[in-house]
Structure 1
Amino acid sequence: MNIQDIRELFPILHQDVNGHPLVYLDSAATSQKPRPVIEAIDKYYREYNSNVHRGVHTLGTRATDGYEGAREKVRKFINAASIEEVIFTRGATTSLNAVASSYARANLKAGDEIVITYMEHHANIIPWQQVAKATGAVLKYIPLTEDGRLDLEDVQKTVTAKTKIVSVTQVSNVLGTINPIKEIAKIAHENGAIMVVDGAQSTPHMKIDVRDLDCDFFAFSGHKMCGPTGIGVLYGKKELLENMEPFEFGGEMIDFVNLHESTWKELPWKFEAGTPIIAGAIGLGAAIDFLEQVGLKNIEAHEHKLAQYALERMSTIEGITIYGPKERAGLVTFNIEDVHPHDVATVLDAEGIAVRAGHHCAQPLMRYLNVTATARASFYLYNTEEEVDKLVSALIKTKEYFTNVF
């Protein structure tokens, strides 16, 4: 499937914004949705909308098959050992909070260590801050190299025999850094710690094998990988999930309820209280089908080429600062000298170009970089080199405009 065939499957891309063809460079925030995903969700609501598991009528059976079929697609997609290890959540944030609230609070005590990095999204910082406050555990940060990478020697120095949890993003949503998760997991396990991975920025763009990574928990969201909003996944090793208490309580997740005591369903359903995210799961399943049809290796290679092209073109702009290593995932975060990133994004929007500006839910990293905010262009399987050229031309125009005005 070539790039034009792919673009044809995304209806939203075929419009003008502010009098210009839309150039969507904000997929790290949320990706656009292809027709197969839109149609799968539409078909569910049109043809077999029903609750799952409880009913025995035809629509209920079809809905259950669609929902549980999506779980099996996720299992294969990330190479989990069984569907018992695949829990549907509202997104990566909920998944990480679930590990923090259910596993960490029950297993940590005062003096234990939680190790994370300066490049984490707030969703992989704040839950651990709260766990540390509640348990007396110590929150530690692995330092970054000058170009925004993790040095394994620094990982080994930071992770100690007191460390019980190491939680790291596989791909930074600001720097584009691709972290060596498998090697970090090995260091964590050698010290008796578990390995938690924020896969929100990696799962849409590269092949994930949770068993090869040997991570204990892995979290990701559907909306960044061509799926709908409001659906995500928590992968956990079966032996850990079996010993965890549910993080939500109510219908669906129970086995037997007495007046004063209750028992829980088996995995994975003991972690899915209430009516589940049925349409979202079905949409996520369709997104997985689509990504596998295109090929994760093809997507990764396409984005790598775009990122390198963008780095090459953008580096020619005088006064621009680009953050992160040369080898990176498909995004470029930058600042233009004497121009606030919000102003950059506003001018780009006037040219029909959508980028993200702000702290990107990574305020500790912004302080580490000694900036208050940055602009970010992020690429996906539907972006082209021509769109990068439009971005560069618009950035030059932006710089000239603010130089002449001020």
Structure 2
Amino acid sequence: IVDLESAYWKDLPEREEAGTPDIVGVVALAKVVRLIEEVGFNSIIDHEAELTAYALKNLKAMPGVVIYGDKDPKNARNRLGVVSLNVKDMDHALVSAILSYEGGIGVRNGCFCAHPYVKCLLGVTPEQAKEVEKHILARDRSTIPGTFRISFGLYNTKEEIDQFCKVLDMVIRKEYKGKYLVDKERGEYYPEGFSTDFSKFFNF
């Protein structure tokens, strides 16, 4: 977690790892640049704005959904294709886990490398921030405030937004199937009894 006064990093050795050069990423970047030139930047902007407006219109109609930032679909061209949300009275990490495990929908949650801003956006007081800090120092990340966000790109469709809203509505109505447990050290939720059989995907 990061604030204006301090930062807490991962334990060794992870925090010292330089990482592997992203060779595949460089090749992919060249391909993407060609694609953008082919499709046209304005077409991409129009598509993202259309999806953002569509999402905002649908999300505004959902009870219990809190949208951060400009909520007016008419202003979609003046913002990025990213919408930060919360569900009232639900942990952002829990909502994200349910969307993933039960809806196959990947969202990002937390403070998005902007801890001071997100804490301000959420109205976290300095006293509350200090309490969170105490938990983190005690290896408990389950109280970190945050939101979850959806983002749109050239490849996304309105049908995907419809599916997201359908699964989110199921979450809001508490009709999800799993019983979710929290891993306090990681601040993440997972369904009880869940395990991945990697032998289905890999030959060891």
TM-score scaled to structure 2, two decimals? 0.59
- What residue number does 1:379 align with? 152
Any idea what SS the aligned residue of 2:173 has? helix
| 1:346 shift after superposition | 1.0
* 8 Å CA contact retained: 1:341, 1:375: yes
* 8 Å CA contact retained: 1:310, 1:388: yes
Q: 1:308 aligns with which of 38, 53, 66?
A: 53
Which letter does structure 1 place at the counterpart of 2:91?
H
Aligned CA-pair RMSD: 2.7
Which letter does structure 1 place at the counterpart of 2:86?
N
1:6-405 correspondence to structure 2 within 5 Å:
280-325=25-70, 326=72, 327=75, 328-349=79-100, 350-369=102-121, 370=123, 372-401=145-174
* 8 Å CA contact retained: 2:83, 2:149: yes
**Distance in 1 between the 2:58 and 2:25 partners?**
38
**Distance in 1 between the 2:27 and 2:94 partners?**
39
How many equivalent residue pairs?
134
Structure 2 unaligned blocks of 5 or more: 7-19, 125-144, 180-204
* 8 Å CA contact retained: 2:82, 2:150: yes
Which letter does structure 1 place at the counterpart of 2:152?
F
* 8 Å CA contact retained: 1:348, 1:354: yes
Superposed CA deviations along residues 295-338 of structure 1, whole A, max 9, x for unmatched, are: 11111100000000000001111121100123321111011100
* 8 Å CA contact retained: 2:85, 2:147: yes
Any idea what SS the aligned residue of 1:329 has? coil
| 1:230 shift after superposition | 5.1
**Distance in 2 between the 1:322 and 1:364 partners?**
18
Superposed CA deviations along residues 28-53 of structure 1, whole A, max 9, x for unmatched, are: xxxxxxxxxxxxxxxxxxxxxxxxxx
* 8 Å CA contact retained: 2:47, 2:154: yes
| 1:368 shift after superposition | 1.2
**Distance in 1 between the 2:47 and 2:162 partners?**
16
* 8 Å CA contact retained: 2:119, 2:146: no
| 1:347 shift after superposition | 1.1
Q: 1:389 to 1:280 in 2, by over 3 A?
A: closer
Which letter does structure 1 place at the counterpart of 2:65?
I
Q: 1:230 to 1:387 in 2, by over 3 A?
A: farther
- The structure that is strand-richer by fraction is 1
Identity between Structure 1 and Structure 2 (%)? 35
| 1:355 shift after superposition | 0.9
Superposed CA deviations along residues 76-109 of structure 1, whole A, max 9, x for unmatched, are: xxxxxxxxxxxxxxxxxxxxxxxxxxxxxxxxxx
**Distance in 1 between the 2:106 and 2:174 partners?**
19
| 1:345 shift after superposition | 0.9
- What residue number does 2:200 align with? none
Which letter does structure 1 place at the counterpart of 2:151?
S
**Distance in 2 between the 1:338 and 1:288 partners?**
42
- What residue number does 1:137 align with? none
Q: 1:315 to 1:292 in 2, by over 3 A?
A: same
TM-score scaled to structure 1, two decimals? 0.31
Q: 1:382 to 1:283 in 2, by over 3 A?
A: closer
**Distance in 1 between the 2:112 and 2:25 partners?**
25
| 1:367 shift after superposition | 1.5
Q: 1:398 to 1:285 in 2, by over 3 A?
A: same
**Distance in 2 between the 1:351 and 1:340 partners?**
17
**Distance in 1 between the 2:25 and 2:108 partners?**
25
Q: 1:230 to 1:398 in 2, by over 3 A?
A: farther
* 8 Å CA contact retained: 2:98, 2:171: yes
